[in-house]
Structure 1
Amino acid sequence: MDTATNQKHDSQPYYVAVNDEEKIFTAAFNQGLSILLKGPTGCGKTRFVEAMAHKLRRPLVTVSCHDDLTTADLVGRFLLNGGKTEWVDGPLTKAVREGAICYLDEVVEARKDTTVVLHPLADYRRQLPLERLGITLDAAPGFCLVVSYNPGYQSVLKDLKDSTRQRMVAIEFDFPAPEVEERILAVEAGISAADAAKLVRFAQAIRRLENAGLREVASTRVLIAAGLLMREGLSAAVAAKTAIAGPLSDDAQVTKGLIKMIEVYLND
């Protein structure tokens, strides 16, 4: 399975700015600074990076980090091709050469020895050592390293090292204000303002819960999925059970509680 995707958008990805995140990202990009995005799952970090890549007219290379991601997966490796051994760039190296924005999604999921390779690239040096080739690449103009993670979800054992954090500027994300989230749902899912408002009220109720046994609360992403099901004719209650309650928990008692909430907030 590929760890990276290269994206070029013909049209501006839909993103609604909440605070000064666009100004901060642009300033950091212009100054060659690396960027750390912090916030809950599904709150719009990935869409934000896509929108900024389009706005800044830079290609975007996205890497979904995981436990098995190695340095070679990021940087590159020698591969056999037609009986010959050839070097093949990894996604990070391609981004460095091309002056692209490289987005490492959920970076703390990658192995510690993998993230160390980012250090000379993330600070003032903006260099990527390729030890297997015996060379060091200077980042091309326009290159920007962006990483994201969810501090509330990651365990203590999966956290960014201080030496990595202090090479980056941080932008904090959270779920949008209700009126903004309603607008996002209406546009992204193609549903009415009234239906969008119902889903957001339900999500707000879940987010207010304490000690509910949920590792994650209802994200904007799952609300959009529920809205898309409603667009196909499913009731709000059925859509929420399928796209929100189901993905949030496998625990029978927790799911039962969520379904009771659906009956309160979403039954017609």
Structure 2
Amino acid sequence: MNIVEPIGLSEQHDNKEPWYLPTGQEVEVFEQCHARQLAVLLKGPTGCGKTRFVEYMAWRLGRPLITIACHDDLTASDLIGRFLVRHDGTQWQDGPLTRALREGAICYLDEVVEARQDTIVVLHPLADHRRTLPIDKTGETVAAAEGFQLVVSYNPGYQRMLKDLKPSTRQRFVGLDFDFPPLDQEVQIVSQEGGVDYANAHALVSLAVRLRALRDRGLAEVPSTRLLIAAARLIDSGIDPKLACQTAIVAPLSDDPTLGSAMRDLVDAMFI
């Protein structure tokens, strides 16, 4: 069941296993963090599998998952809750973070550094030994139910020159580093998720490896595994591979004519 709200919220309660291919010992480390009530920070480039990993771990641990997409306008009230005016008076409504605490859910804040600093500070008592959330508007202090876990993610490469987490925040989390998988594993992921054969999956990943080398030539964001899967799904639907790469990989990455031309040349060379 997915519920979409203005703050960018989704909830996962079903029992279907999300497909995830481990690339190291991240599953074991996360399981131990959950067992020992440790908050987790996932670091890695856009589209490298951080969100899918959290979905998989929530399924594996049998916990509901509440995901919040962070942004500049995200306030503490959006997370904690607020009083709503109704025909019969005012009524308090828990925010997603408070609901996760009460339900013992995994609460995942995606791209947490996009949120305002005064919002991030709200997470501090949840990410250390206290595991509590004071609600000033009601005078209540909510203690985390069994199974609650706080997980946040961000892209350090993109945010390094723009925003970053303060040390007082970072040191409350166990950090897991993510990156694009090794070539053979990424081929397997693209084939599985995109529905294409090994040859097309290998060509797409090989293209991505070359395009990722363009980062130093002005490409702000390199092609993610997510983009490769989108291209693979277009190919699987019958779209010509070159056109699929143009629309699903090249066009989303840059509007610069020179970079676009260089990327199209690589596509032409890869899909002869």
| Shorter-chain TM-score tier | over 0.9
Q: Note if contact 2:228-2:248 (Cα within 8 Å) is conserved in structure 1.
A: yes
Measured after TM superposition, the shift of residue 209 of structure 1 is 2.6
Measured in 1, the distance between the counterparts of 2:76 and 2:64 equals: 22
- The aligned residue for residue 57 of structure 1 is 62
Between the two proteins, what is the percent identity of the paired residues?
Answer: 53
1:146 has 2:173 as partner: no
1:79 aligns with 2:84: yes
Q: Does 1:46 align with 2:13?
A: no
Structure 1 counterpart of 2:164: 159
Residue number in structure 1 paired with 2:141: 136
**Residues of 1 paired with 2:151 and 2:112: CA distance?**
10
The whole-number CA distance in structure 1 between the counterparts of 2:215 and 2:69 is 30
1:29 aligns to 2:34 (yes or no): yes
What is the Cα deviation at residue 9 of structure 1?
2.9
Q: Structure 2 regions of 5+ residues with no counterpart?
A: 1-5
User: Residue deviations 1:160-181, cap 9 Å, x none?
Assistant: 0100100000000000111111
Distance 2:81 2:161 in 1: 30
Residue 41 of structure 2 aligns to a residue in which SS? strand
Q: Does 1:241 align with 2:240?
A: no
2:216 to 187, 192, 211: 211
Superposed, 1:192-231 pairs within 5 Å as: 192-231=197-236
In structure 1, stretches of 5+ residues that fail to align are: none
Q: Does 1:180 align with 2:177?
A: no
Task: State the aligned residue count.
Answer: 267
Separation in structure 2 between the aligned mates of residue 154 and residue 127 of structure 1, nearest angstrom: 29
* SS of the residue 1:78 aligns to: strand
Residue identity in the other structure for 1:23: E
Structure 2: distance between partners of 1:243 and 1:36: 29
Displacement after TM superposition at 1:210 (Å): 4.4
Q: Distance in 2 between matches of 1:44 and 1:177?
A: 13
Cα deviation per residue 1:98-153 (whole Å; 9 max; x = unaligned)?
00000000000000000000000100100011111111111000000000000000
Residue type of the alignment partner of 1:21: E
**Residues 172-221 of structure 1 deviation map (CA, whole Å, 9 limit, x = unaligned):** 00001111111111111111111100100000111123422111101000
Q: CA RMSD in A?
A: 1.0
Alpha-carbon distance, 1:157 to partner = 4.1
Q: After TM superposition, which residue ranges in structure 1, 4 or more long, deviate above 4 angstroms?
A: none
Matched, 1:189 2:194: yes
- What CA distance in whole angstroms lies between the structure 1 residues aligned with 2:45 and 2:230? 17
Q: 1:5 aligns with which of 6, 10, 13?
A: 10
Map residues 90-109 of structure 1 onto 2, 5 A cutoff. Answer: 90-109=95-114
**Structure 1 residue identity aligned to 2:64:** P
Cα distance in 2 for residues equivalent to 1:212 and 1:239: 24
Name the residue aligned to 1:259: 264
Give the whole-Å Cα distance in 1 for the aligned partners of 2:228 and 2:215: 20
